[in-house]
């Protein structure tokens, strides 16, 4: 793959990380925007990130969902719409549960319970560190979450 293609894949990855959205982050959109083939995007994501393009987008959406559950009081339906699951809160909840083995509502309840007990540092400034800590705590304590990181 030419070096320009590598940079293109990095730009695509960065765009997905900055604004993960199931609908807006379509492979066709990125093919058109960056003038690269679907095959190049698919093979590059598999090579560099170890997952398909669609799985990468989904994982980024679910990571953002955890961040929103951790840092906001948004309703689950609002989070679902924010991430592009506008027609299906159930679809969002099923995708979330497939990855983390717990529903978004159960995670929020668990976070509230454990933050108030001091098991999760609510003052942690690095949100990514808090997300990792939450996922690690849940997988260690309850075995509910299958960590994919």
Predicted structure pTM score: 0.75
Distance (Å, whole) CA 23 – CA 27 = 10
Coil, helix or strand at residue 35: coil
Distance (Å, whole) CA 128 – CA 67 = 8
Residue at token pair 């997952």:
51
Q: Terminal CA-to-CA distance of the chain, rounded, Å? A: 27
pLDDT at 56: 94
Residue ranges covered by each domain of the chain: 3-141
DSSP letter (8 states) at residue 102: S
Average pLDDT over residues 1-25: 84
Residue at token pair 């679902």:
80
Write the pLDDT tens digit of every residue in 106-149: 988 887 777 666 555 555 556 567 667 766 665 554 443 333 43
- Topology annotation, domain 3-141: Arc Repressor Mutant, subunit A (1.10.10)
pLDDT at 113: 79
Write the pLDDT tens digit of every residue in 28-43: 999 999 999 999 999 9
**Is 132 or 7 the better-scoring residue by pLDDT?**
7
């Amino acid at each position: 793959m030419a070096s320009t293609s590598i940079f293109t894949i990095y730009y695509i990855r960065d765009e997905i990380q900055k604004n993960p959205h199931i609908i807006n982050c379509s492979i066709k959109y990125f093919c058109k925007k960056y003038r690269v083939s679907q095959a190049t995007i698919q093979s590059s994501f598999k090579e560099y990130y170890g997952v398909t393009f669609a799985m990468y987008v989904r994982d980024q959406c679910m990571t953002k969902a955890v961040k929103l559950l951790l840092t906001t009081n948004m309703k689950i339906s609002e989070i679902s719409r924010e991430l592009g699951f506008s027609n299906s809160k159930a679809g969002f909840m099923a995708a979330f549960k497939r990855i983390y083995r717990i529903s978004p509502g159960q995670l929020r309840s668990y976070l509230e319970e454990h933050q108030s007990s001091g098991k999760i540092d609510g003052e942690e400034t690095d949100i990514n560190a808090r997300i990792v800590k939450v996922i690690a705590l849940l997988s260690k304590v309850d075995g509910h979450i299958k960590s994919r990181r």
